Amino acid sequence: MQKMFRTKYLDPDFRKNPKTDSYCIICQRDLKDGQSARLICYELDVYDAIHVDDWEEAADEIKARRAPHLESVVYGFIGGNCAKKLGLDFSKEISK
């Protein structure tokens, strides 16, 4: 099925092992308190970030083509620099 929403591969660096639950999905570095971070939404296992304007639509579409009992999209954080590289329209500002 053709994707009707915009995605971008996150290309996570799995060589690193985050020590906390709050880490950047892309570079896998822990996010420190006060460090700028942004919220992203991506397809589980596939690591395709979804364009902010398409979050709801994409979640519905992905849910429709995956097994319904499985989680389809997940939310995570990325650091400020990684967010810039990815394109700011693929993440939302959060207050931390």
Q: Which is nearer to Zn ion, 26 or 40 (CB)?
A: 26
Q: Which is nearer to Zn ion, 62 or 82 (CB)?
A: 82
**Interface with Zn ion by CB under 5 A: which residues?**
24, 26-27, 79, 82
Q: Which is nearer to Zn ion, 10 or 62 (CB)?
A: 10
Q: How far is the CB of 54 from Zn ion (least distance, A)?
A: 22
H helices present in the chain, as ranges: 55-65, 80-86
Contacts of 58 (CB under 8 A, 6+ apart): 5, 7, 41, 43, 50, 51, 73
Q: Which is nearer to Zn ion, 23 or 58 (CB)?
A: 23
Q: How far is the CB of 19 from Zn ion (least distance, A)?
A: 14
Residue whose entry in the numeric block shows the structure tokens 């992203």: 40
Q: How far is the CB of 82 from Zn ion (least distance, A)?
A: 3
Residue whose entry in the numeric block shows the structure tokens 């979050």: 55
Q: How far is the CB of 51 from Zn ion (least distance, A)?
A: 19
Alpha carbons 28 and 51: distance in angstroms, whole number: 21
